Amino acid sequence: MTLTGLLCVLAALGCLGTRAVAATRYDVEVIVFRNLAASDDGEQWPANTIVPDDGYTHTPLQEGLENLPDSQFALNGVAGALQRSGAYQVLAHRLWRQSAYDRRSAIPYLLHTSPGSSGREVDGSITLIRERYLHLVVDLTLTSPDALYRLDETRRMRSGELHYFDNPRFGVIARVTPYESDESTPEDEAGAGEPTTAPDEDEDTTAEPAGEPH
């Protein structure tokens, strides 16, 4: 099954559903994966092999970011489907909470995985930007023993939707959802403003594509 097919099936099952609410903080979940079919070195990996990811230990968090535990992952179904497909290999699965700011004040999430025995290393940043709309900037490199590949792409994010950033060698699946604090009140939510749910969002012709899986 193709990646697009996998995502469509999972979305149809309702595992990605969420309620868009006004918020100033967001939960960002990303899956970084390698396209095994695009390998040009003849190397084959078992479909159920996940490259060890010890980035939490080696990459200090920027102020204003909070790592969330694996138990709060919402995209385990997506990660599992990628692994079972035999065509992709999950390299990293991360979830964090942060406030979103404009481009000048945006806080990058630094992502790094150890190459370990695989000889492959992911390094770079993922930055959430909130202006008129939410955008996610993915700037990552995948280093193999004999090559380096870069994924540098910006997408406008709609709350709760899956977005797919792709490079022929590796890709990122991301979801951004508003965070509702237990202390939030209806007045707080009404005043915060959610740019991604503005009635005229489709009129913004200068924004990047919405990032539908393809």
- Return the pLDDT at 115: 83
Q: 163 with 155: CB under 8 angstroms?
A: yes
pLDDT of 24 higher than 60: yes
- Return the pLDDT at 39: 53
Q: 182 with 197: CB under 8 angstroms?
A: no
pLDDT of 202 higher than 80: no
- Return the pLDDT at 183: 59
Give the strand order in the sheet containing 163-166.
Answer: 65-67, 88-99, 25-35, 170-178, 163-166
Q: 35 with 170: CB under 8 angstroms?
A: yes
User: What stretches of the chain show up as alpha helix (H) in DSSP?
Assistant: 3-12, 55-58, 76-85, 186-192
pLDDT category of residue 1 using cuts at 50, 70 and 90: low
List, in sequence order, every residue forming a beta bridge with 88; answer none if it has no partner: 35
What is the pLDDT averaged over residues 66-75?
A: 95
Give the global pTM: 0.71
What is the pLDDT averaged over residues 10-37?
A: 70
Closest by CA to 111, choosing from 130, 136, 134, 88, is: 136
| Tens of pLDDT, residues 75-103 | 999 999 999 999 999 999 999 999 999 99
Q: 21 with 194: CB under 8 angstroms?
A: yes
Helices and strands in the chain: count of H runs, count of E runs: 4, 9
pLDDT category of residue 8 using cuts at 50, 70 and 90: low
